[in-house]
Structure 1
């Protein structure tokens, strides 16, 4: 028997896109539960969603995309959750492809956008940087770190609700959390279409936020990947400075001592953090 599926769309002033998107979802997925989370819209987003047959959750004011995702996940009854943008970028015909990956044994399936689907050259380059950095931190290849189109097993997704930020970087957080926790993740190539209306993302502000989220999750789930290179750089710098001062002055300086001591302290901080994350990892799996 196929698991029950709930489709969650965070929406803020997306009434124009929802008029055509919601009927296409109903056509693509048999008897879906659809939740539209109205994140403080000032247009008729809620009315359009209700008229199409979706269940609507209303935020009294705009809290953020991640907050809408969390509200939808808490309300959903499905064993599988499908998240997609409400702006028309994602094709509902791709939903069965994502669900098929879960049937193969994956815990999360993500729609990965190609270069042609990026909103701009700058956004494409930034996403490529995020993907490479996150791949290093997670220890797995991440094809699209910021894609908001994904299917996931509800019980495992809810384990990480407390980590999800209220802003636009929930995909970053949940992707790295799943990889670090050993949950298999699949990527499927998709074509993202031009959105209907104006984007709510601010590239500079949200770009910095994405980087901070990557480092935050790395600290929580793989701290030695972050602390280790920093400790090594301090040690190499101290060793190099000692070699220089010994060759030119014939002595060991305070700067060399400081740099080498800092390397040991940073490494021990990373080692301690790694032990703490091991306990978190154990607790997450003991709940399943």
Structure 2
């Protein structure tokens, strides 16, 4: 199998200077693609000096947008995505590719607790993992890892679903599970990144909170809407029982809660149908 390695990069000249030489030495036949997300430093120059093909954007569009540009440019049957900040070591590609040859369509390099950027990020990622595991019925070890190997034709099916921001790993993982494509996890050590992270805790913290809801609506909306509907209905029933026993009447609040329960359930039902259409494969 021809392998293409895609590294999304924004101002990562130091990380690329450490990552690319090792990659080229270990995988001389692999296609190396650096997807430059509007860098203002020597990222493109360093990438070209080490024999990588550079796909440049005139301005920053986001990590996910860089991933999509790199995936479109890749010519290999298998695409390996790696961070360009020096966290991932090319020596671990062999383990991912070996697992891929066992019949999986995506293999993810899973970090342990020591591989998280901070304690807060580790707790947040743990929450995402548990939520996604509940949604899919499969144990997900690392939902947000940027180190993964995928079959190119499978991955390109979901390019239209991928966001331009940092949540592309979450979206593509859930899309693979939803479509019945097998996913595996391989534990990999992660080094400390070179340079400063482009993630801003406050802004991206709110964004990642929205990812939790997007996970639910992307995979199985009824798993999100049905419990909310049941909660409204239960509160409405309890309030009706209270007002009936104390005032012997059916109140407007009970009617409102029952109506909300029905509306939320119907929204979930329609969302489920839309989701099914989104993942339909024609031909």
Q: TM-score range with shorter-chain normalisation? A: over 0.9
Match of 2:93 among 69, 92, 95: 95
Matches for 1:123-272 after TM superposition, within 5 Å: 123-272=121-270
The unaligned stretches of length 5 or more in structure 1 are none
The alignment's TM-score, normalised by the length of structure 2, stands at 0.96
Quote the RMSD (CA, aligned, Å): 1.4
> Residue 120 of structure 2: which of 116, 119, 122 is its match?
122
Structure 2 portions without partners, runs of 5+: none
* Deviating 4+ runs (over 6 angstroms): none
Residues 104-123 of structure 1 show CA distances to partners (whole Å, capped at 9, x for unaligned) of 11110001110111111111
> Cα deviation per residue 1:78-106 (whole Å; 9 max; x = unaligned)?
11110000000011111111111110111
Q: Describe the shift of the 1:37–1:195 C-alpha distance in structure 2 as closer, same or farther (beyond 3 A).
A: same
Distance in 2 (alpha carbons) for counterparts of 1:172 and 1:24? 28
Within a 5 Å distance, the mapping from 1:31-70 to structure 2 comes to: 31-70=29-68
SS in structure 2 at match of 1:86: coil
Alignment partner of 2:80: what SS?
strand
Q: CA deviation at 1:41?
A: 1.1
Larger deviation: 251-260 or 214-223? 214-223
* Alpha-carbon distance, 1:66 to partner: 0.7
1:217 Cα deviation (Å)? 4.2
Alpha-carbon distance in 1 for matches of 2:197, 2:273 = 41
Contact 1:7 1:32 in 2 (8 A): yes
TM-score, normalised on structure 1? Answer: 0.94
Judging changes above 3 Å, is the alpha-carbon distance between structure 1 residues 175 and 158 closer, same or farther for their aligned structure 2 residues? same
Assess if the C-alpha contact under 8 Å between 2:132 and 2:215 holds in 1: no
Number of equivalenced pairs: 283
**How far did 1:250 drift?**
2.0
